[in-house]
Structure 1
Amino acid sequence: MPTHDYTTRILWTGNRGEGTAHYKAYDRTWDIAVPGKAPVHCSNDPLLGGDPAKMNPEDLLLSALSACHMLWYLHYASDAGIVVTSYSDSPIGVGEVGRGGAGRFVKVTLRPHVGVQAGTDLAKAEAIHHRIHEVCFIARSVNFPVDYAPVFEVSG
């Protein structure tokens, strides 16, 4: 099977001058720097002392899963002759924290709101969502269930 390489650069930006001399001496911030792209400023989850105004790893995973699903949905809809006029998603990821503070996602529900043209076969449009997990790079890589709760809006 052909392979693809992906690369990124993570640069810790949280050294306040003491490095990690003690637990409260440093910020949990970093930048994602992919060559040729704008940097993304990130922080730890606010529950763990992070900056709530910055993306955290959990936000990024949930966003990547949702975006991958959307891109495959648009592709399959186009192939099926379904004209999508808008698409947004507000996914919900459920996490749990175990002993010692270790956490993990236990499930994600994608909740896409899909605008389609009048006359669209909504059952066919809905069925597409359930095929995507077979091909989405991100969905195939996670070890928790991903559910779908799409809503369709028909425009004239």
Structure 2
Amino acid sequence: MSQHVYTSTIRWTGNTGSGTSSYRGYTRDWDVAVPGKPVIACSNDPLLGGDPGKMNPEDLLLSALSACHMLWYLHLASDAGLVVTAYEDTPEGTGEVEANGAARFVAATLRPRITLKPGADMDRARAIHHEIHKVCFIARSVNFPVTIAPHFVTD
């Protein structure tokens, strides 16, 4: 077994001049910086006072889950001789907030729309989705159920 180390810098950018001297006196803005990659400007969920025009932690987690699934799908499809010409997902995550304010994801649904070359083995194309959660780094790391509802088309 080998280990990989991932690093990033999370830097709060929301000090409006007086720090956190009052709850409404600062913004929930922050940056994600990974060496050698573009900085991503983020904020809190808009329901919690964040900027709706910026990515929030929930967006990032759901997007990471979907992207990991997609990359493994492309890999396993290639291995199976399936030619994917397009892949797009519109995932949806469901969260719950407890009375004390603690929140968590309770489920996610991935809805990939996958375009395959004509003549593709559609049974195999569907079956690949069930293999991915055995190997996808992000899917193996979350503690909520993930449902896959794929839609296939041919070009």
State the TM-score, normalizing by the size of structure 1. 0.98
Matched, 1:60 2:49: no
Cα displacement (A) at 1:99: 1.7
Q: Which has the higher helix share?
A: 1
Cα displacement (A) at 1:123: 1.1
Q: How does 1:111-130 map to 2 (within 5 A)?
A: 111-130=111-130
Look up the equivalent residue of 2:125 and give its one-letter code. A
Residues 63-119 of structure 1: per-residue CA shift (max 9 Å, x gap): 000000000000000000000000000001000000211110000000000000000
Q: How does 1:24-63 map to 2 (within 5 A)?
A: 24-63=24-63
Equivalent position of 1:23 in the other structure: 23
SS in 2 for 1:44: coil
The separation in 2 between residues aligned to 1:122 and 1:29, in whole angstroms, is 44
Look up the equivalent residue of 2:24 and give its one-letter code. K
State the TM-score, normalizing by the size of structure 2. 0.99
The CA RMSD over aligned residues, in Å, is 0.5
Cα displacement (A) at 1:30: 0.3
Structure 2 gap segments, 5+ residues each? none
Q: Among all aligned residue pairs of Structure 1 and Structure 2, give the percentage whose two residues are the same amino acid.
A: 66
Structure 1 gap segments, 5+ residues each? none
* Number of aligned residue pairs: 155
Look up the equivalent residue of 2:84 and give its one-letter code. V
Q: Post-superposition, which runs of at least 4 consecutive aligned residues in structure 1 deviate over 2 A?
A: none
The separation in 1 between residues aligned to 2:121 and 2:58, in whole angstroms, is 35
The separation in 1 between residues aligned to 2:14 and 2:152, in whole angstroms, is 43
SS in 1 for 2:133: helix
SS in 2 for 1:96: strand
